[in-house]
Amino acid sequence: MKKIGVFTSGGDAPGMNACIRAVVRTALKAGLEVYGIRRGYAGMIEGDIIPLDKYSVSNILQLGGTILRSARSREFRTEEGRARARAKLAEYGISHLVAIGGDGTFAGARVFLKEYPELSIVGVPGTIDNDLFGTDFTIGYDTAINTAMRAIDNIKDTANSHDRVFFVEVMGRDAGFIALRTAIATGAEAVLVPEARTDIAELVETLRWNYRHKKTSSIVIVAEGDDEGGAFDIAKKVKQQMPDCEYRVTILGHIQRGGSPTCQERVLATQLGMEAVNALLDGSSGIMVGQVCQKITYTPLEKAIKHHHPMDKTMLKMVSLLA
């Protein structure tokens, strides 16, 4: 192994740059040549590949987004697309890759490895959703929940001033981890997540109880993948049963994906980036490096994307218990 390629793919996440920096500098220290593949699998297919030296990653640790940019490639889902990507890697003499991304990125890496087993790929969990098995936290999650928390703190000020119910939708695709943590951290009155069935009648009862007990403003955090729909749908359903409810809806959206990574994020991203290169140097492939109980772990890509780590039901109950 003389050359290594690194890329970010899928939704960008704060901390990806810190991880790229760690990958590049660890690999250079080990005497490897490092290439950055821009725009994920799309850039791999097109040969959008650039050499990286120590200084290409200077002063990026604190930046959100990804200097290598990102994409969701349709073409890589086809056999022809993957063959083109393989050919481009061969042109550059790259056979070892660090893939920073989420389940889509790892699903792509698995198929690629099945077709071209001579390649070696190690994954690093990079997604704000925290929906991968084999790591307590994914890169991007901590920053995203802090961003969401601050936004909801602001919403609480206006909710209190106007005696309103706010339905705040957070990201997470089909996982409720962002919703759960921000609900606890902001003292929300309710949280709706895909991992637990949503009962609108029960939610209405909670809000009514609040009114009866002189709590005239409430925050309901809705994970975007909730079984009863997004925040607008839920608000409408509540309004049907509670016509006197004065409500507003806020979709936090992509502000959760940006911003400077938190300290915890930068440290995690740096550790995982370094360990990904070490794993490749040790001859590993088809695995994701993660961190469980502060220890570095290695999980087969297949397992990392097939299972979520389970949602902590006690934490879920905590929201209604303390509201």
Among 8, 127, 198, 262, binds ligand F6P (CB under 6 A): 127
Applying CB under 6 A, which part among 115-123, 127-135, 156-164, 296-304 lies near ligand F6P?
127-135
Judged by CB under 6 A, does residue 257 bind ligand F6P?
Answer: yes
DSSP3 helix / strand / coil % (the chain, rounded to 5): 45, 20, 35
Q: Considering the complex, state which of residue 57 and residue 179 has its C-beta at the smaller distance from ligand F6P.
A: 179
Q: Locate 278 and state its tokens.
A: 């070490």
129 flagged as catalytic: yes
CB of 130 to ligand F6P, least distance (A): 10
Based on the shown chain and the rule CB under 6 A, indicate whether residue 126 belongs to the binding site for ligand F6P.
no
The 3-state DSSP class for residue 165 equals strand
Catalytic member of 12, 103, 129, 131: 129
Specify the residue, 11 or 14, whose C-beta has the smaller distance to ligand F6P.
11
Q: What is the DSSP letter of 196?
A: S
Beta-sheet pairing, 190-192 with 96-101: unpaired
Among 61, 128, 220, 231, binds ligand F6P (CB under 6 A): 128
228-263 in b/e form (b: 16+ CB < 10 A) is bbbbebbbebbeeebeebebebbbbeeebbbbebbe
User: Rule CB under 6 A: which of 155-184 touch ligand F6P?
Assistant: 171-173
Q: Does 194 bind ligand F6P (CB under 6 A)?
A: no
Measure the CA–CA gap between 228 and 224, rounded to whole angstroms: 10
Pairing, β 287-292 against β 295-300: antiparallel
Residue 174 Cβ, how far from ligand F6P at the closest point, in Å? 8
Please select the residue that binds ligand F6P; options are 48, 129, 142, 169, rule is CB under 6 A: 129
Question: Quick check: 11 binds ligand F6P (CB under 6 A)?
Answer: yes
3 state DSSP class of 46: helix
Strands of the 3-8 sheet, one edge to the other: 49-52, 33-37, 3-8, 96-101, 120-125, 287-292, 295-300
* 197-226 positions binding ligand F6P, by CB under 6 A: 224
CB of 140 to ligand F6P, least distance (A): 8
> 92 to 111, contacts with ligand F6P by CB under 6 A?
102
Residue 193 interacting with ligand F6P (CB under 6 A): no
Is residue 135 classed exposed, middle or buried when 0-12, 13-18 and 19+ CB atoms within 10 A define those classes? Answer: buried
| Among 124-132, 234-242, 285-293, 305-313, the segment contacting ligand F6P (CB under 6 A) | 124-132
Interface ranges with ligand F6P (CB under 6 A): 11, 102, 127-129, 171-173, 224, 257
Catalytic residues: 129
